[in-house]
Amino acid sequence: MTVLEKLKGIIAEELGVEKDDINADSNLADDLGADSLDAVELIMAIEEEFDVEIEDSEATKIKTVQDILDYLEEHAG
């Protein structure tokens, strides 16, 4: 399973959207309907799944699925 596929599963579960509606260009708020609470819960789920810690200052920069992928590529061991 690719990182994107795993991420789609987490996003679908946290935001209650269909995996098929999620792609790398999806904006978490505009396209997937995430509010600030959803974003916090999503970040926590990603941190747990990928064993990374996302600083608040970094989390605020995450707007799209691709932003998450880029962060994980840079920081995940």
Choose, from 25, 30, 31, 35, the residue flagged as catalytic. Answer: 35
- How far apart are alpha carbons 19 and 51 in whole angstroms? 22
Q: Is 35 a catalytic residue?
A: yes
Q: How many CA atoms lie within 13 Å of 28's alpha carbon, on the beta-carbon side?
A: 27
- How far apart are alpha carbons 68 and 62 in whole angstroms? 6
Catalytic site positions: 35
